[in-house]
Structure 1
Amino acid sequence: MSTEIKAPVFPESVAEGEVATWHKQPGEACTRDELIVDIETDKVVIEVVAPADGVIEEIIKNEGDTIVSGEVIGRFKAGAAASAPAETSAEAAPAEDAADQDESASGSSGDAILSPAARKLANEHNVDPAAVKGTGKDGRVSKEDVQRHIDAAKTSQPAAAKSAAAPEVSVAAGERVEKRVPMTRLRASIAKRLVSAQQNAAMLTTFNEVNMKPLMDLRKQYKDAFEKRHGVKLGFMSLFVKAATEALKRYPMVNASIDGTDMVYHGYQDIGVAVSSDRGLVVPVLRDTDAMGLADVEKKIVEYGTKAREGKLSIEEMTGGTFTISNGGVFGSLMSTPILNPPQTGILGMHKIQERPMAVNGEVVILPMMYLALSYDHRMIDGKEAVQFLVAIKELVEDPARILLDV
């Protein structure tokens, strides 16, 4: 029985998507709930799975095609068996023909069988498909096979250059190579939102610095016991999340948002944590951080980081948020001005911890210091509240007992 493969129903905030990768081709067998196609939107990659055991009958929308919610992208035949390879269809063939067929099936002669994604990658890097060893069914060459071939070629190039004196530069002197690739939907959406934030918000940034020694001493003292008890490492991000939560409770305007001409005050703290991925910057949200412990925050951050790298964050996990924290320090940033994540009115930027000489009680002491930056929307937050909010975070981080005592 033939059924339609439809694009999933997108949320209201997502207008359209794009067929990213077909993991199965017409005639290939699928098992129930097996991944068959990825749909990329401007927020997440949505996986479409097989509705039952059967085969892909037809692909209507190819990779790179734009689709809308619920659109038919292919046809699936439940209960059907995979198409037999042409090489093995003749059972009574002579022995020498059978040997030729086995050779062809193994990919040692004849044209390689490439998936559309693999062919596209091979064309982009001028890779001969016949030179790539396929690991898929019937010797099919996948995108991963082509990538491995490219990586192996890059690794062998320096060694070959040393051993071979023959010049391999065939381009004219001064010629420079360029590569043009289209933006992914996620990166295009990020660009649009960031430009909109700069154009539509009265954005200012205030700075301060925090002595990280108390937090570092606390982490050093309890990190082993914490990991043994909770099964997750104690990092600085969870402590900053808790400090930001307490500061947001004291200065609710930083936790608010602007909707047209209305100011919306939120009676809860949902803090987004900026995570860098190969597809672009994503901001999954920690819900009700006031009710979360440090271990809960750390576990959730690890989970979000893994999902971001695998492209499996859901739209629900990135929707909402009343405040955002971005840690550029993990990449070595000493100071930056983070951009607001609309419709939020505040974002905290953490930076690199660096030892600096500081004056303490009339003496010069070397301390591990971090610059903090708070970007805020001046339409909602006055400079006084912004500075006081950042000072509150500084005091809570420099004296973590304040979080426990609520002082």
Structure 2
Amino acid sequence: MTIEVRVPTLGESVTEATIATWFKKPGDTVAADEMLCELETDKVTVEVPSPSAGTLAEIVAAEGETVGVDALLATISEGEGASAAPKDDAPKKAQVKSDDGDAPAAKSGSGDEVKVMVPSLGESVSEATVSTWFKKEGDSVAQDEMLCELETDKVSVEVPSPASGTLTKIIAAEGSTVDASAQLAVISSGDAPAASAPATGQEGSHGEAYQTPPAGQGSRDVEDAPAAKKAMAEAGISRDQVQGSGRDGRIMKEDVAKAVAAAGKPSAPAPAAATPRAPVAAQDAEREERVKMTRLRQTIARRLKDAQNTAAMLTTYNEVDMGGVMDLRNEYKDLFEKKHGARLGFMSFFTKACCHALNEVPEVNAELDGTDIVYKNFVHMGIAAGTPQGLVVPVIRDADQKSFAELEKEIAEKGRRARDGKLSMAEMQGGTFTISNGGVYGSLMSSPILNPPQSGILGMHKIQDRPMVVNGEIVIRPMMYLALSYDHRIVDGKGAVTFLVRVKEALEDPRRLLMDL
């Protein structure tokens, strides 16, 4: 008997939801009332329980899809036979025989076949691109050994092996796009074939399988990660200048970033032609290189253009005398680091100053939802960070409740993980306001672009000594230009200017932050 799993009632005025996560896959045994999946609406998260015991036969609505009330999500095969099916090896092997032809290939291993599925990609992410396979068909793999790397719109996701055995089939090749519930490969669990054993005289172990190339493959040419090839082309460095840290000396994108930093070269594209794109002469075409944009770069481009097309974006400017912050920092930085184990920088001052100003001008910390304005009674501060792969914005949650030491530690830790490509999707979502520091690259003045759906972003710039009039005298002061870009649909000019003035006042006299003035 087949039981249908449908979208439950979502609440008053809510007509649709998005499939956030499936906790079961087709073929899994489920119990009555066991949670099958999670739906996300505009307001709440809804869990969908199983209406009956049995086997999950089919998933109709995949992760990332939008469904209406009472839409069909999946079907469950009810009854004893259905419940026992996943434990019976015979049906599995019959399926392999129909897919791959002769049955002996499926039976050559001493264990069961294990599917390698796409892991959870995070909220609202429905697909990924297979960027790199670190194993090939026939290789021995250890449990939790990294098999491949996926690229999503925001982060790179590593896929570990769910079991020890032999990688018998790769289903999704490098460069292919897979959805959130797709199968990537098949592993025959159990003892690995002799041809795939580690090339050592010692007994094989998981550690040796991970550290030693397969027999006969020690001298093969190693294929570098596609992201690393692109980064090397952009930086203008050769493969010989990079020390690979991947398996068998494979060059990863992090290795390229380290090589660029060591050589003191900017990771920038080669100079572009001075004229607009036009028919190119044959001799010039041979010297061009066309590289496909990464998913991260495509997402950055799309979101920035959407921000320009959607928001009524304006920018207001001011300047701040950084002398007060610099004096306070110089006086206490050694004691601060000794007590808290963190370096006292400028970002904690700017974060505190922005939180202080957002309390007075809450519309800068709000967002539009249709015809409603949603005011946030908290501050999740996005700190923009440049990485070799592109701009990312990790979020410091409840920044208004954190101390200077807590802010400095979290900003430094997330900055390191952003450069290493280790941030999760959850760590880059939910921000209510953003700070961007172009000054670290030498920018004197710029107009930052909004990070939708936020209504404000503060741009920091280079600190530069300039002559200023103070108490009727010309003195040299360390000055910085500040820029606030804001959505004029929510924030009026008065509010934007007031916000920036409050940030200026707090930075020029940091004692105001302690007294909440």
- How far apart, in 1, do the equivalents of 2:182 and 2:431 lie? 30
Matched residue SS, 2:484: strand
Change over 3 Å in CA distance of 1:294–1:4 after alignment to 2: same
The whole-number CA distance in structure 2 between the counterparts of 1:224 and 1:86 is 54
CA separation in 2, counterparts of 1:211 and 1:60? 59
Cα shift at 1:81:
2.1
- Greater Cα offset, 361-370 or 25-34: 25-34
AA at the equivalent of 1:54: G
**In the alignment, structure 1 residue 23 sits paired with structure 2 residue 134:** yes
Q: Deviations over 1:263-322 (max 9, x none)?
A: 100110111000111111000100001111111111111111111111111010001111
Ranges in structure 2 where 5+ consecutive residues have no aligned partner? 1-111, 200-214, 234-238, 264-281
Change (3 A) 1:221 1:11: same
The 1-side partners of 2:198 and 2:325 are apart by 67
Cα deviation, 1:226-249, whole Å, max 9, x if unaligned, reads 111111100000110011011111
- Counting only pairs closer than 5 Å after superposition, residues 262-277 of structure 1 correspond to structure 2 as 262-277=372-387
Partner of 1:40: 151
3-state DSSP class of the match of 2:477? strand
Instruction: Pick closer, same or farther for the CA change 1:5–1:260 going to 2, 3 Å.
Output: same
Q: Look up the match of 1:183.
A: 293
Number of matched residues?
A: 363
The offset of 1:143, in angstroms, is 3.6
Check conservation: 2:456, 2:486, Cα contact below 8 A: yes
Is residue 167 of structure 2 the alignment partner of residue 56 of structure 1? yes
Partner of 1:379: 489
SS of equivalent residue, structure 1 residue 75: strand
SS in 2 for 1:84: helix
The gaps in structure 1 that reach 5 residues or longer are 89-102, 156-171
Contact 2:365/2:376, CA 8 A, preserved across alignment: yes
State whether structure 2 residue 421 is matched by structure 1 residue 311: yes
Identity %: 52
Going from structure 1 to structure 2, the CA distance change for 1:183 and 1:50 (only over 3 Å counts) comes to same
Looking at both structures, which has the greater relative contact order when contacts are Cα pairs under 8 Å and sequence separation is at least 6?
1
Q: Does 1:218 align with 2:350?
A: no
TM-score, structure 2 as length reference: 0.65
Equivalence for 2:90: none
**8 Å CA contact 2:225, 2:252 repeated in 1:** no
| 1:284 and 2:400 aligned | no
> What TM-score, normalized to structure 1?
0.81
Query: Which residue in the other structure is 2:88 paired with?
Result: none
SS of the residue corresponding to residue 25 of structure 1 reads coil
Report the counterpart of residue 394 of structure 1 in structure 2. Answer: 504
Partner Cα distance (2:302, 2:309) in 1: 11
Deviation at 1:33, TM superposition (A): 1.9
Match of 1:114 in 2: 222
Distance 1:32 1:243, change over 3 A: same
Alignment check: 8 A CA contact 1:28 1:83 kept: no
- 1:37 touches 1:47 (CA, 8 Å); kept in 2? yes
RMSD between superposed Cα atoms in Å: 3.3
CA contact (8 A) 2:227 2:252 kept: no
Q: Distance in 2 between matches of 1:116 and 1:61?
A: 18
- Larger helix proportion, structure 1 or 2? 1
Secondary structure in 2 matching 1:242? helix
Superposition pairs for residues 7-406 of structure 1, below 5 Å? 7-81=118-192, 83-84=194-195, 107=219, 112-115=220-223, 117=225, 121=229, 142-143=250-251, 177-406=287-516
- Quote the Cα distance in structure 2 between the aligned partners of 1:401 and 1:14: 44
C-alpha separation in 2, matches of 1:192 and 1:320: 19
User: 2:137, 2:286 → 1: CA distance?
Assistant: 41
Q: After TM superposition, which residue ranges in structure 1, 4 or more long, deviate above 6 angstroms?
A: 85-88, 132-137, 172-176
Letter in 2 for 1:33: D
Task: Output the CA distance in 2 between the equivalents of 1:82 and 1:217.
Answer: 67
Say whether the 8 Å CA contact 1:115–1:141 is kept in structure 2. no
Deviation track 1:325-377 (CA, whole Å, cap 9, x = no partner) reads 00000000000000000000000000000000000011000000000000000
Q: Deviations over 1:105-146 (max 9, x none)?
A: 653xxxx34347489959x98xxx9xx999988xx563459x
Amino acid at match of 1:218: L
CA distance in 1: counterparts of 2:285 and 2:130, whole angstroms? 35
Deviation, structure 1 residue 35 = 1.7
